[in-house]
């Protein structure tokens, strides 16, 4: 109660302009000066694989076939099959056509399990992340994610099969 008496006296002595200053001083005196708690922030580590700019070694045809088979079927390709496919690649002059034909054959296999189209449309960001990791062993950049999401959403005929084929036939996929 005594504090209010001094406040009343100070108001009359110093005028209204000094009231604000007096309130600040009283608030500081009543609360006491305490040091601020020490707060530290740390970043969690995130392992990010290198982007396309650092992929500079061209895969051989055998490596490409083995890796694409593993990415699509989630299992390795038998050695005999890999040998036979490699011989077919050697006999075809246009390697890009050979890749397209092989992928088309892979997509017609009954034991191939693809992400359902409904799942791709329900959560495109998760599908995009999974596809980039599966084929490029890296996360997409924000620009890539935005482009692929818009492409999937704006093309009603887009299927996981077509997305996977696009990734497998991309220039980046040919390098590691």
pLDDT digits (tens, 9 = 90+) for 73-101: 989 999 999 999 988 888 888 889 999 99
The mean per-residue pLDDT over the stretch 108-126 comes to 94
Q: Give the per-residue pLDDT at 32.
A: 54
Query: If we measure between CA atoms, which residue out of 66, 144, 69 comes closest to residue 112?
Result: 69
Domain ranges (residues) in the chain: 2-30, 52-174
Mean pLDDT of the chain: 81
Please list the residues that pair with 58 across neighbouring strands: 175
Q: Give the per-residue pLDDT at 50.
A: 53
Structure letter (DSSP) for residue 175: B
Q: Count how many residues are written for the chain.
A: 176
Buried b (16+ CB within 10 A) or exposed e, 152-168: beeeeebbbbebbbebb
pLDDT digits (tens, 9 = 90+) for 41-80: 665 554 555 555 578 889 999 999 999 999 999 899 999 9
Q: Give the per-residue pLDDT at 113.
A: 83
Q: Does domain 52-174 have CATH number 1.10.3130?
A: yes
The overall pTM is greater than 0.85: no
């Amino acid at each position: 109660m005594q504090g209010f008496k001094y406040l009343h006296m100070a108001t009359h002595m110093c005028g209204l302009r000094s009231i604000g200053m007096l309130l600040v001083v009283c608030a500081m005196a009543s609360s006491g000066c305490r040091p601020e708690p020490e707060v530290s922030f740390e970043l969690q580590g995130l392992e990010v694989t290198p982007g396309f700019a650092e992929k500079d070694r061209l895969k051989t045809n055998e490596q490409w076939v083995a890796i694409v088979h593993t990415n699509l079927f989630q299992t390795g390709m038998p050695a005999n099959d890999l040998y036979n496919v490699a011989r077919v690649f050697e006999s075809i002059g246009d390697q890009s056509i050979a890749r397209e034909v092989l992928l088309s054959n892979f997509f017609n296999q009954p034991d191939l399990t693809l992400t359902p189209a409904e799942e791709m449309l329900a959560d495109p960001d998760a599908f995009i992340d999974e596809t980039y990791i599966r084929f490029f062993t890296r996360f997409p950049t924000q620009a890539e994610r935005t482009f692929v999401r818009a492409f999937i959403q704006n093309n009603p005929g887009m299927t996981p099969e077509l997305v996977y084929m696009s990734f497998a036939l991309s220039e980046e996929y040919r390098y590691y």
